[in-house]
Chains A and B, each alone.
Chain A
Amino acid sequence: MPSDEELAAELGRGDDAALRALLHRYQRPLAHFIFRHTGGSEVEDIYQETWLRVSLHAANFDPEKRFSTWLFQIALNLCRDFHRRSRSAGELDAELRGTSSELDRCEAALEAGALLAQLPEAQREVLILRYYHDLSEEETGRVLDCPKGTVKSRMHNALARLAELARRAKS
């Protein structure tokens, strides 16, 4: 069974069977990652754009690196673009503050998507990659292009914030 990196190299030569195999391996993790990052908006568009970019740039892919890291970096950049496009940071904060009080009142809102949306983007990215995608701290750091220590501290802050939110929602 060829590795992801071998398939990526074949994709770079225009092999659609390689693309099919990579899609088969990564369609679910990637779609779920985008869904959780964007909160369910424009998931299909970002998903398709990610794979089109993979097809376009596979010839430039460095086979010494891990394909999954490269794939998630592309998706992450597109998700960040989406967030930048859809709203400015100030509007987002205002919106989150507004929904925060609603969440406190509503037990039904104690749901992963709503809780994730309460986290700052940097913490949310770390939590999604570490928790939902089982990436190690090193791999998460490579995807996010930051040191392992930063991943650790963001994870700590994310957990502390989540615990606080969950406690408030429960009470």
Chain B
Amino acid sequence: MKPGKPLEEAVTSNALQAHVSDCESCRKAELPLERLSSVLSSSTPSINPEAWSLRVLVRSRSILQERRAQSIRRRLPLALGISLVALPLVITYDFFLLERLYTVVSGLPLVLTFYLCASAATVLLLVGGAAYAGLALVLTGVGETLSARMREVQV
């Protein structure tokens, strides 16, 4: 069945025709296909599944919340693990940058040198921390949730 196809459109006698063309007993029996088809097509249930679907969404909210939490719990150790693999490299590079900075500014007065190096170290720490937080969020699926929200808006 094609997704999203309204049932009324799907109701055709094709299935009957297809079966009869393939089934010798039915061909021999000379079934009144048109009559059967018109009888079967005569009634379309008068129901309102849209309202039921809204109730399904409400009732399944707690189930989905639990699923999301489970999903994040499952991915968190992996995300932290992947993040930690790169940590020594990041720290080494940060020390390298600070050392280069110290080489450049070491001719300045001691207080100014200390101020510049401390500021640079703080900035590197903040940038590194933010990058790791972002990485962890993306790996735990928060990014997917955000894209899902975008899809929801489109729907």
A interface residues, Cβ below 8 angstroms from B:
2, 4, 10-21, 23-32, 35-36, 40, 43-44, 47-48, 51-52, 55-56, 58-59, 68, 110-113, 115, 127, 130-135, 139, 152, 155-156, 159-160, 162-163, 166-167
CA separation between A48 and B56, bound complex, in Å? 6
Q: How far is the CA of A25 from the CA of B71 in the complex (A)?
A: 25
What are 19 residue pairs bridging A and B, where the CB atoms are less than 8 Å apart in the complex? A13-B144, A23-B53, A23-B57, A27-B52, A28-B49, A30-B49, A32-B44, A35-B47, A52-B56, A55-B64, A58-B67, A111-B39, A111-B43, A115-B40, A132-B11, A132-B40, A156-B23, A156-B25, A159-B36
For the complex, what is the distance from the CA of A163 to the CA of B44, rounded to whole Å? 20
Q: Judging by beta carbons under 8 Å apart, are B60 and A131 in contact?
A: no
In the complex, the answer to whether B12 meets A159 with C-beta atoms within 8 Å is no
Q: Is the CB of B59 within 8 A of A48?
A: yes
- The digit string for B20-61, where 1 denotes a CB below 8 A from any CB of A, is 101101100101100110011111110101101101110111
- B8 CB → nearest A CB, Å: 9
- For chain B, what secondary structure do more than half of its interface residues adopt (helix, strand, loop), or is it mixed? helix
Q: Are B60 and A29 in contact, with the CB atoms below 8 A?
A: no
| Interface residue tally on B, bucketed by range | 35 or more
User: Given that A25-B3, A112-B42, A113-B43 are contacting pairs, would A31 and B63 also be in contact in the complex, using a CB cutoff of 8 Å?
Assistant: no
> Known: A44-B52, A59-B67, A156-B19. Contact between A17 and B149, CB under 8 A?
yes
| B126 sits at the interface (CB 8 A) | no
Closest to B10 in A: A134
Closest CB of chain A to B48's CB: distance in Å?
8
Given known A21-B151, A152-B22, A156-B23, contact A14–B36 (CB-CB < 8 A): no
B7 within 8 A of A: yes
Most B Cβ at <10 Å: residue of A43, A47, A156: A156
Q: With A and B bound together, what is the CA distance between A24 and B31 in angstroms?
A: 37
Tell which of B10, B16, B35, B39 has the most Cβ of chain A within 10 Å. Answer: B39
Kindly list chain B residues whose C-beta atoms are within 8 Å of the C-beta of A31: 45, 47, 49, 52
Distance of A92 from chain B, by nearest CB (Å): 21
A40 in contact with B45 given A4-B3, A17-B151, A132-B11 (CB within 8 Å): yes
Whether the Cβ atoms of B52 and A48 lie closer than 8 Å is yes
- In the bound assembly, the distance between CA atoms of A16 and B43 in angstroms comes to 33
**One of B1, B36, B40, B57 near A19 (C-beta < 8 A):** B57
Distance A36 CA – B1 CA, assembled complex (angstroms): 17
Whole-angstrom CA separation of A115 from B32 in the bound complex: 15
Contact across chains for B141 and A36 when beta carbons are under 8 A apart = no
Partner of A28, one of B6, B55, B63, B141: B6
